[in-house]
Structure 1
């Protein structure tokens, strides 16, 4: 139970420090929708999502009003569509039809995003999975709320380099298909290694096959709260600093637990996990980069950045684990460029480079996230970036991901404008040396020796 002092602290975090519940995400299994009739499949998918999620947005708003806790997004994740539609889809355009169905039902129930237009190809690709991937440029260009992900590797299976090579081409095609909006289609596409089954955060959310028929997952974010708390730690040693972060993460997670349990009870859907991820926004004071600078860096990207981020991520996880028995998803600190004011500033000044961001992904929650790169970047170079990030995840037994955006018609130093929560990003330079021969080899990079555990 929360005591009166904790209630006061929570109110202060909400009113002054930008604490919010970033998302209530309802996961819905579509496995029982499968059929070999495409029209019937679309009808079943629409009906099941609508029946489960029709009250999700209204319930979220009701909890907001009653508890005074901002709930920014209400979202849906579904079973990876490549599994559900394998029998019904005979060509990529069939998957596009399903994407339109998903977008239509997302609009009707009022959620801002629906994730799970996904394929899991860490070892190899089925014909259906390849067709879904090939449908992505059209599907993402023609829908507003559908989010996609592709898992190309894991610690247990290695990295499917055929899928990596294909995704380099697809990312480029998605950019071209959405060139009129600064190639924003790629803001809805994530390429994973070791993708988690229970991630409530877009664009990489999907409802894993190990999950039940429906579940409520909550994502809580509070970089502004952590940043404010660190004001009391100026000049103090690391022991004091770590305790401050851990205690703050504990309080933030408790707020998420309260919201998750209420949403679960009111919607009569089981509670799944709390994902405590410091996910920034473009707003001043709501920045992971600012936290790292308060820890003692002149600017994020300079020497000490990776160590500071590692410490931050670890303390966030420790605080969250103490607050809830069901912490899951990604949980830690996100480092997207476009969504974080201090990251944007560091990238513009040249202090933060893609190479430094790659080093930071070894210790953060996800990976190379919302990074705008020159529109002329080749598919092979994009594949090389994906392979590097997947290798970090595979070897270190952690989730890594790539969400890069080649902005067609723009080059280094220009800005890409995505708007809203996605913010804006400077076009960052990419190493121009070719990796085409490496990517073109095909086949699979084997799993590391430490994967052989059973």
Structure 2
């Protein structure tokens, strides 16, 4: 039973500490839309999305009004389009028409993003999957709300280095196709290792083939709430610190659970998972970096940062899993640069580098996220950075991701504005030594020995 104190406490978290539900994401299977005729396929996709999701935005707004809980985004994820389109799409340009259909459907139902322009190629690529990957630059340039993700590795299969090399080239090409918008297309493109089927957060969301026909997944937030709670226990022991994070994560996740159950009931669609990630925004006080500073670091990136982030991530998960029967997605703490004011400040102060961020990704939820780099960075260098991050995920049996933005025409020390939740970022330097010969090798890096569990 929720008592009056808990109601007041939740209201305070919303009003003062930036507590919100970051997204209700409706996952929709497009498997029953598959058709060998491209025109029929596009029509089936549009019809299914606009039918299943017709009440999503309205329902989200009603829940906001009824409970006073901000729900920042209403989104859709769909079956990886490489699978859906393979029978009809014979060339990259065919896949672009599917991206345009997704964008049109997203606009019709009013969601801000639709994810699933995706391919799962951790062990190899079909011709259709390669065509989708090669279509990404044009697809993201011609659409506003479509997000793309490519899974190039897993602990079970190893790393598909042909796909890693190709994705480095596609990131550069996407930057060039959207250079008039400061290479914004790259902000909607993420490369994964061990991508989960039920992630509600963009740009990596897609509706896995193991999922039901439609599902409601909710992503919560709450870095400001955690920071506020920790400010009350400054100087206390690690035991007190950990208990505080766990209790706060429990409260935040309960809010998400309530929203998910209500959305499921009102839409008549099964509840999938709660993703209990601490997802920062550019707003003051809504920062994972500031939590790390509250724990005791002068700046994010200082010695001790990786340990502090590991502690935070683990305690968020321990507290959150007690608040919901179904926790999934990524869950933990995100460390995007452009979307976190504390991270931006740490980069500007010289405390945080790409190399330190890579070390932090060993213990956080995702990986190298929303990092702006010089526009003249070589495709092979980007492929090398992707390979490094994918290796962390593969060896450590965790999800890792890369969302790099080579901003055409800008260099180190300049700043790029993306706007909204995507924020702004200083251009960060990258290592200039070449890895061309390494990423040009063909084939894949084998799975680690501990993957063999059958």
The answer to whether TM tops 0.5 is yes
Structure 1 residue matching 2:371: 3-state secondary structure: strand
Deviations 1:18-43 (A, max 9, x none): 00000000000000100100000000
Deviations 1:232-278 (A, max 9, x none): 11010100000000000000000000000000000000000000111
Asked if 1:352 is matched to 2:336, the reply is no
Deviations 1:50-76 (A, max 9, x none): 110000000000000000000000000
After TM superposition, the structure 1 = structure 2 runs for residues 191-270 of structure 1, keeping only pairs within 5 Å, are 191-270=191-270
Structure-2 separation of matches of 1:46 and 1:11 = 39
Deviations 1:276-314 (A, max 9, x none): 111100010000000000000000001000000000000
How far the C-alpha of 1:129 sits from its partner, in A, is 0.3
| Residue in structure 2 matched with residue 103 of structure 1 by the alignment | 103
Structure-2 separation of matches of 1:294 and 1:19 = 18
Structure-2 separation of matches of 1:233 and 1:399 = 32
| Residue in structure 2 matched with residue 166 of structure 1 by the alignment | 166
Structure 2 residue matching 1:278: 3-state secondary structure: coil
Deviations 1:377-430 (A, max 9, x none): 000000000000000000000000000000000000000110110000000000
Structure 2 residue matching 1:77: 3-state secondary structure: strand
| Residue in structure 1 matched with residue 374 of structure 2 by the alignment | 374
Structure 1 residue matching 2:447: 3-state secondary structure: coil
Asked if 1:286 is matched to 2:282, the reply is no
How far the C-alpha of 1:2 sits from its partner, in A, is 1.9
How far the C-alpha of 1:5 sits from its partner, in A, is 1.6
| Residue in structure 2 matched with residue 16 of structure 1 by the alignment | 16
Structure-2 separation of matches of 1:317 and 1:287 = 18
| Residue in structure 2 matched with residue 437 of structure 1 by the alignment | 437
Structure-1 separation of matches of 2:233 and 2:387 = 39
User: Which residues of structure 1 form unaligned runs of 5+?
Assistant: none
Structure-2 separation of matches of 1:228 and 1:239 = 17
Structure-1 separation of matches of 2:352 and 2:202 = 24
Structure-1 separation of matches of 2:45 and 2:376 = 38
| Residue in structure 1 matched with residue 26 of structure 2 by the alignment | 26
Structure-2 separation of matches of 1:428 and 1:280 = 20
Asked if 1:149 is matched to 2:149, the reply is yes
How far the C-alpha of 1:352 sits from its partner, in A, is 0.0
Structure 2 residue matching 1:212: 3-state secondary structure: coil
Structure 1 residue matching 2:242: 3-state secondary structure: helix
Q: Which runs of 4+ in 1 moved over 2 A?
A: none
Q: TM-score, normalised by structure 1?
A: 1.00
Structure-1 separation of matches of 2:269 and 2:297 = 44
How far the C-alpha of 1:350 sits from its partner, in A, is 1.2
How far the C-alpha of 1:3 sits from its partner, in A, is 2.0
Structure 2 residue matching 1:272: 3-state secondary structure: strand
Structure-2 separation of matches of 1:336 and 1:443 = 31
Structure-2 separation of matches of 1:153 and 1:178 = 27
Deviations 1:103-140 (A, max 9, x none): 00000000000000000000000000000000000000
Structure 2 residue matching 1:332: 3-state secondary structure: coil
How far the C-alpha of 1:4 sits from its partner, in A, is 1.8
**Superposed CA RMSD:** 0.5
Structure 1 residue matching 2:442: 3-state secondary structure: coil
Structure-2 separation of matches of 1:366 and 1:249 = 18
After TM superposition, the structure 1 = structure 2 runs for residues 267-346 of structure 1, keeping only pairs within 5 Å, are 267-346=267-346
Structure 1 residue matching 2:322: 3-state secondary structure: helix
Structure-2 separation of matches of 1:270 and 1:342 = 37
Deviations 1:191-216 (A, max 9, x none): 00000000000000000000000000
Structure-2 separation of matches of 1:176 and 1:419 = 19
| Residue in structure 1 matched with residue 180 of structure 2 by the alignment | 180
Deviations 1:343-380 (A, max 9, x none): 00111111100000000000000000000000010000
Q: TM-score, normalised by structure 2?
A: 1.00
Structure-1 separation of matches of 2:446 and 2:104 = 41
Deviations 1:298-342 (A, max 9, x none): 000010000000000000000000101101100000000000001
